[in-house]
Structure 1
Amino acid sequence: MHIANLDGIRLHYRIDGDPAGAPVVFSNSLGTDLRLWDQIIPLLPKGLKFIRYDKRGHGLSEATPAPYGMGTLVSDVEKLMDHLDAKDAIFVGLSIGGMIAQGLAAKRLDLVRAIVLSNTGARIGTREMWQERIDGVRAGGIEALADPTMTRWFSAPFRQTDAFTAWRNMLIRQPVEGYVGCSAAISGTDFMATTAALRLPALGIAGSEDGSTPPDLVRETIDLIPGSEFALIRGAGHLPCVEKPEEYARVLSDFITRQGHANV
């Protein structure tokens, strides 16, 4: 268990794989912690250094008072990567993690050589929608939003499995300040112009059953970056790395291999 003290925030992180390998950094979604990636890490190419972290207000990281700005969340992982001397990384972000990826790539190309934008958008939803969710969580806790969130996140067959219970529990056990803070960050973010100015290898991944960031939104976002790639994982919702880990790992591994990342 590792905690990095980063000038005003303490973040929990984990390193797997080869400590001397080229870095791959993972940033997870709203309402989840770094266990989001548990099933795919063992399936990825050997010889790489896999860095995962709990963003501000999630998992075992510190939960500062809400609201948060997207710039703060980008700065958090920037500081973490500097702390770990993780340069020229492939950065994999899912949902809000994909927004963080876009912001970091625009700010620090020395840290990021390629990005994977999974189940995300340059903007997601509206300010009004996010304010309703924030108000709902403030009034009734995350539990009040859990069932409609799970319907957007997971396909109907997965919601009948035993594993589904664990993901629902993960959501409702996140700190309220973290959920509200990150919701505010998403609400205030529009990276359309910023992402359109990016020039680096990029892969978009979408789930056909995703009710939070539908495939059209992911495609619209990744198409902003010239030369980018797109992959659709059928039968999966907002967290395809959970529902279809083998397919997700194959798509990600192929992209990593095409970047020659293990030889950097």
Structure 2
Amino acid sequence: MFLEVDDGTLLHYETDGDPGRPALLLWHGARCTLRQWDYVTPRLTDRFFLVKFDIRGAGYSRASSSTDYNFTTYATDACRLLESLGIDKCHIWSMAWGSRAALAFCAFEQERVISAALFDLNIGEADIKAQQAGYREAMRRLSEEGFTPPTLPNGWNHHIDKTSLDLSLTAATKSDLSSLAPLITRPVLIATGDHDPNLRSSREAAKLIRGAKMVELRNIGHGSVLMHPDLCIQVFKEFAKQHI
């Protein structure tokens, strides 16, 4: 499905579950699409009405030529999507780059947020090489324990416009998330792998957000939801059940 917003941008989105249940808005990671959540959604429709979308410029969403790629724009897009579905308030689950955008959304639109689970959060500068190295080490350790990761969902990184995709990611350089984090007053879970270099920044963010809960995921690298969806679902559900 597509939603056209004010400037002509087309947002690609999907919904799953009963609209009468609490809404859960899902934010995907960098260079991912809403397909990132395909292993997650069937396990959550018994509790939530799921809303997943490609941010403007990514996946099948088409950004207008006048787009200003920043987190204010993304927050406004999310608001328009929720409004179109008749949703006043929602829970949030995000991963990696999406947790940056979701944090900003929570700061800008607190009246719309019930709770937020920010996985693999980094409020500073990302170290891509360290993320890749940490992922490999985590996979090695999981393999030693007999764990086989699931195949990545079809289309999890398919984008119709690579130029707009690259532009979409520049939003992370335009906001000081460390100044936005203390503004959040809703319940927050931050969950990050112990082999993800984002962990240090996640800990810092947890200190900045009043009452935030920090969970460190054992033998998990960057891209936790794709790497070990079962574990991430378990951690998310444990947090979410306290706020439904």
- What secondary structure, in the 3-state scheme, does the structure 1 residue paired with 2:136 have? coil
Deviations 1:230-262 (A, max 9, x none): 111122222111111111001100111011x1x
Aligned AA (2:61) = S
- Distance in 1, matches of 2:53 and 2:170, equals 20
- Distance in 1, matches of 2:103 and 2:89, equals 15
Equivalent in the alignment of 2:72: 71
- Distance in 1, matches of 2:222 and 2:161, equals 21
Any unmatched runs of 5+ in structure 2? none
Equivalent in the alignment of 2:224: 240
CA contact (8 A) 1:12 1:61 kept: yes
Deviations 1:20-62 (A, max 9, x none): 1110100011100011111122223613101100111111111
Aligned AA (1:88) = K
Offset at 1:197?
Answer: 2.0
- Distance in 1, matches of 2:124 and 2:93, equals 17
Equivalent in the alignment of 1:151: 132
Equivalent in the alignment of 2:19: 19
- Distance in 2, matches of 1:69 and 1:235, equals 33
Relative to structure 1, the CA distance from residue 237 to residue 217 in structure 2 (aligned partners, 3 Å threshold; closer, same or farther) is: same
Q: How does 1:78-227 map to 2 (within 5 A)?
A: 78-125=79-126, 151=132, 154-156=135-137, 158=139, 170-171=156-157, 173=159, 175-211=161-197, 214-227=198-211
Deviations 1:154-207 (A, max 9, x none): 33475997966x579854756322332122111122121221122110000101
Query: Aligned residues, how many?
Result: 236
CA contact (8 A) 1:152 1:238 kept: no
- What secondary structure, in the 3-state scheme, does the structure 1 residue paired with 2:110 have? coil
Offset at 1:87?
Answer: 2.0
TM normalised by structure 2 equals: 0.85
Offset at 1:98?
Answer: 1.2
Relative to structure 1, the CA distance from residue 241 to residue 67 in structure 2 (aligned partners, 3 Å threshold; closer, same or farther) is: same
Deviates more, 1:166-175 or 1:4-13: 166-175
Equivalent in the alignment of 2:240: 256
- What secondary structure, in the 3-state scheme, does the structure 2 residue paired with 1:155 have? helix
- Distance in 1, matches of 2:106 and 2:138, equals 36
- Distance in 1, matches of 2:200 and 2:149, equals 30
- Distance in 2, matches of 1:181 and 1:158, equals 30
Offset at 1:72?
Answer: 1.2
- Distance in 1, matches of 2:160 and 2:125, equals 21
Equivalent in the alignment of 1:39: 39
TM normalised by structure 1 equals: 0.79
Equivalent in the alignment of 1:3: 2
RMSD: 2.8
- Distance in 1, matches of 2:114 and 2:205, equals 18
Equivalent in the alignment of 1:139: none
